[in-house]
Structure 1
């Protein structure tokens, strides 16, 4: 759920292809509609991937089939990218202290009990 007043990129474009945004708590009708649309878009992208694999594995396609496949894959990738951006923007921002602990390999607390990397020759 989105905190009150958080902006959400919606999974559809407005007039002229411009992005649509929703501000709110993430519990209303439009939020549920967007969730359902994202789910449908991700499901269709998965089905399209299976179809693409089938077509490409057959190795008997026409240039028209490949063109249509490329168009449909581009549409699906556009939707999936928009969903990823929308969800990424709604993730909480990690505290800088947390990032420092992850990035500091010299931190002894993180190294205790951790397996040491081995070198292969």
Structure 2
């Protein structure tokens, strides 16, 4: 969808949500806040993974849990990157 902002959440069916507008409204501010939280959580998860792997043995259930959370986080960060990348203005070719 061109012109719409890809939001950092999906419908209950997993379909993407888009926002049309100037990017200054309440939903845009909520989306910015959600993206900020998602990026912070991803950074914290990276630190947790490093600590977990650096300090002693880990069990298979611990690793499975870590990988599941990292996959969730990677999906969220990828969505943020897609959304922000789509909003980068394309320069005129003059």
For normalisation by structure 1, the TM-score amounts to 0.73
Distance 1:44 1:28 in 2: 25
Match of 2:68 among 67, 71, 87: 71
What is the root-mean-square deviation in Å for CA atoms of aligned residues?
1.4
Alignment map for 1:73-88 (pairs within 5 Å): 73-88=70-85
Distance 2:42 2:35 in 1: 10
Worse-matched range after superposition: 19-28 or 52-61: 52-61
Query: Which residue is 1:48 aligned to?
Result: 45
List runs of 5+ in structure 2 lacking aligned partners.
Answer: none
Tell me which structure has the larger Cα radius of gyration.
Answer: 1
For normalisation by structure 2, the TM-score amounts to 0.93
Query: Which residue is 1:33 aligned to?
Result: 30
Query: Which residue is 1:17 aligned to?
Result: 14
Identify the structure with bigger relative contact order (alpha carbons < 8 Å, sequence gap 6+): 2
Distance 1:85 1:38 in 2: 12
Deviations 1:29-62 (A, max 9, x none): 1000000000000000000000000011124100
1:94 paired to 2:94: no
Aligned residues of 1:6 and 1:25 also touching (Cα < 8 A): no
Could you say what secondary structure the match of 2:44 adopts?
helix
Q: Which runs of 4+ in 1 moved over 4 A?
A: none
Could you say what secondary structure the match of 2:53 adopts?
helix
List runs of 5+ in structure 1 lacking aligned partners.
Answer: 98-121
Given the superposition, is the C-alpha separation of residues 95 and 59 from structure 1 closer, same or farther in structure 2, using an over 3 Å criterion? Answer: farther
Count matched residues: 93
Report the alpha carbon displacement of residue 27 of structure 1 after superposing the two structures with TM: 0.5
